[in-house]
Amino acid sequence: MEQDKSCMERMKELVRILSDASRAYYMEDREIMSNFEYDKLYDELLDLEKETGVILSDSPTQKVGYEVVSSLPKEAHPSPMLSLDKTKEVDALQSWLGDHEGVLSWKLDGLTVVLTYEEGVLSKAVTRGNGEIGEVITPNARTFKNIPKSIPIRERFTVRGEAIIFYSDFEALNATIADAEAKYKNPRNLCSGSVRQLNSEITAQRNVRFFAFSMVDPEDPELAGKVGGSIRERFMFLRSIGFDTVDYRMVTAENLPETVRWFSETIASNDFPSDGLVLSYNDISYGRSLGRTAKFPRDSIAFKWQDEEAETTLLDVEWSPSRTGLINPVAIFEPVELEGTIVQRASVHNISILKELALGKGDRIKVYKANMIIPQISENLTRSGALPIPGNCPACGQPTVIKNENDTETLVCPNSECPAKDLKRFSLFVSRNAMNIDGISEATLERFLERGFLKQLSDLYHLDRYRDEIIQMDKLGEKSYNNLIDSVERSRKTALPQLIYALGIPNVGLSNAKLIVKHFDQDPKACFEAPYEELCEIEGIGSVIAESYVAFFADEGHRSELEALLKELTFLREESELPQDLAGKTFVITGSLLQYPNRDALKKEIEDRGGKVAGSVSAKTSYLINNDSTSTSGKNKKARELGIPVITEEEYKTLSF
């Protein structure tokens, strides 16, 4: 076993070294090792794969093929996959475990998946679904970042686990989406959608990972003897053949409180999403002998942390303008200690919740940390309800508007020039379709703006001035700082249309920018000084776009910012262009996408082909893209009323003009 462990560690090291070398050579145009050294390490990895029968995920010896399917087939599980009974009391865990040895592990917050291997190769992957019937996602599972593509077991072998997306990958993907409304809400929802894609290439781009937590008993007696009869033995076996398992600790009733405390102190620093713990009897036979209830198995129980509450006094409610125009109420209260940290602020989210809590200055309130992380108000004990709703935006002073959507009231600043919306300008600039500065999320931008690191767009290229402050910021550190600076440096070499789009000129999308740049033969000076009359002559550029474009560059502040940016950038000539076959066509996108990673990607393709993407259906709309043509949504209804074709992604791809 020790020798197998040593081989596995060496294989993981080789995969990392060779992958880094390939990435440097093919994507960054630099060599970090000679061909001779690369070949030597590659051969060593091949020998170890033959010796162990294990091929690790992302092994350079393998190539992943992507598959696209029209729908996900359904399949019944051999036996129901039951949910777990739950408790928030450590005492209840101790009583449940009794005198037995237990295994305490993370309850990961993702999507449960069952993998089946035959002849050592992954043959089938099925989601938990409703516990009785799941969806077959085999092509997608083959792209998971960390599952072994082959294992040294010839018999049929089935393992269960949780598919998840790390917080860091979730934030990196959201950072590429400029539209705040299009951003993903949380890693679990992103993972669920990613695992169930019809195009497995999209799944691969989302960095889904799989962590095993159990396995089906092998039919072969010899293999059954190898895997062992305890959960701990099976975790060790799964790790020995290339699987990652959930992190766990061995426990007894005596050390359970201390172990739960260890998990609770660790949760804030985890890169993976979790929503509690799972306690199981280590002895598998004993656990199964207990049977199950109608709803739950008796061999395991889930633990949710008891929310620690504290009573305090509400001092004020601060109204915080956001990048989207929403003005969010934030409760300010006398500092209290929760889960080991001092808190004195909590989001109230919207006017409806504010009214429901009947908040007023001086009220006695109870606060807690949701999932031990996010401060929230649980109860208002005095309910004075005396807080006024501001009639003017705290940032710009302009009148506010109360909106009511889906029975939820929100406060909004309609002023498009509100300085609180600066974040939207920076978010667009760093987005994938613009300057593509990877690794800088909107949350990070917001913190940089608050601290005064960013005033002009060109300040992004001088973040090194604040190195010491940045690496001390929560959830950043030196590694994140270095990655950010590397990404900023890479963005210094860009194509001219990307910069024009990144500037946020009203009515000018990336496709319009490309048309303008092409007309002026990629000459920056000519593009930035383009006269109105000549712009109007460009096919696809009308008077409205031309007027916005000229007005933008006539503004002294915009010119000053552009000049500062030009000192930082080098432009690459684009030698090829997509056919502008969608010129004059306007699209609206709604509903879930199956073949594109997000709406932003589909929008980019449409604009690259000369088309436009609008946010709502009107008489000017050419097509509404919605994979659910039977939907009763407002956009579908409006399209039918106006006689506008509703097409799927697949039908969009076949459009020809």
CA atoms within 13 A on the CB side of 486: 8
How far apart, in whole angstroms, are the C-alpha atoms of residue 300 and residue 96? 9
Q: Which of 50, 74, 107, 479 is an active site residue? A: 107
CB pairs under 8 A, 24+ apart, for 519-524? 522/496, 522/571, 522/573, 522/574, 524/496, 524/566, 524/571
Pairing of the two strands 86-87 and 300-303: parallel
Three-state secondary-structure class, residue 76: strand
Spatial CA neighbour of 553 closest among 524, 588, 582, 576: 524
* DSSP characters over 538-550: STT--HHHHHHHH
CA distances from 69 to 139, 199, 579, 606 (A): 9, 7, 27, 23
Beta strands in 282-386 (DSSP E): 300-303, 310-321, 327-338, 341-347, 364-370, 374-380
| Residue given tokens 């917050």 in the structure block | 109
Pairing of the two strands 102-108 and 248-251: antiparallel
The dihedral region occupied by 183, where left means phi > 0, alpha psi between -120 and 50, and beta the remainder, is beta
| Residue given tokens 């959960």 in the structure block | 231
- Record the tokens describing residue 304, joined without a space: 């949710």
The 10 Å CB-count burial string (b at 16+, else e) for 280-315 is: bbbbbeebeeeeeeeeebebbbbbebebeebebebe
- Record the tokens describing residue 574, joined without a space: 């684009």
How far apart, in whole angstroms, are the C-alpha atoms of residue 511 and residue 522? 14
Beta bridge partners of residue 164, listed in sequence order: 209
Q: Let me know if 479 is a catalytic residue.
A: no
Spatial CA neighbour of 9 closest among 60, 43, 64, 48: 48
- Record the tokens describing residue 444, joined without a space: 């990070």
Active site residues: 107
